[in-house]
Amino acid sequence: MNWIEALLLGIVQGLTEFLPVSSSGHLEIGKALLGIETSDDLLFTVVVHGATVLSTIVVFWKEIVRLFKGFFKFKMNEETDYVLKIFVSMIPVMIVGLFFKDYVESLFESLLLVGCMLLLTALLLTLATYLGSGKRDISYRDAFIIGLAQCLAVLPGLSRSGTTIATGLLLGNKKDSIAQFSFLMVLIPILGENILSLFSGELTSSSIPVASLIAGFLGAFLSGWAACKFMIGIVKRGKLVYFAAYCFIVGSIVILTQLL
């Protein structure tokens, strides 16, 4: 993987991690178009995911600092309540990560599945646009259901941000609240996955040049920062249907290319 390919894939990762169009699905499409073997990209995946986590922290740093200060007072308050809801949302994806990780990873080589899941993403975004009321705060029940949605979004092509935001809106949560919650709830799972990968020993055999890793990191960080801020405004304005149309078109093209 040269630095130009890494930069392009990093930009794709950063944009699609926050825009509701599936980062995993678009990375698989990008790898197929560039002819990059999936067996070579574990270290690259860790790097670009770390970059998107960092971009999220930069965007929400004031909120994150506020939550940390409140949580470590070790008493029930607004901040502790919010952090506990994030922990509740993590339960489903932790179960999948612990017991079904190998099975999920085996699905990432199927572009046909990517196409089908992009169509499902389009459906969810359409339903959220026209049926999401957005009038109440997130409850513990809502947090768990949104966590289940995130769990399903490990499938390539099913957008994590699109699925969690759409689920929250369909549950009746406020638009600005669900956008922030969707982006913050993924920080710990991604960091945890990266840490496990770093200590697994599987990264030592990587042959990806340092320049490519740096290019991928910068591309993912800068595009992720821009996409995160842009997506918050999109959710507030209720314009998710445009992304639904995009997912429908791309998903249909992918399916047709795999069947013909």
Domain boundaries, the chain: 3-259
DSSP state of 40: G
**Model pLDDT for residues 6-61, shown as the tens digit of each residue:** 888 888 888 877 888 777 677 767 767 766 654 455 677 788 888 988 999 999 99
pLDDT in tens, 113-125: 888 889 999 999 9
Least confident of 90-94, 112-116, 173-177, 202-206: 202-206
Q: What pLDDT is attached to residue 41? A: 58
Distance CA 169, CA 146 (A): 10
Q: Which residues, other chains included, contact 117 with Cβ-Cβ below 8 Å and sequence gap of 6+?
A: 22, 25, 155, 156, 157, 158, 251
pLDDT at 36 (0 to 100): 63
Q: pLDDT digits over 126-178, tens only? A: 999 888 777 788 999 999 999 999 888 878 788 888 899 999 999 999 887 89
* Predicted TM-score (pTM) of this structure: 0.82
Q: Is 173 helix (H, G, I), strand (E, B) or coil?
A: strand
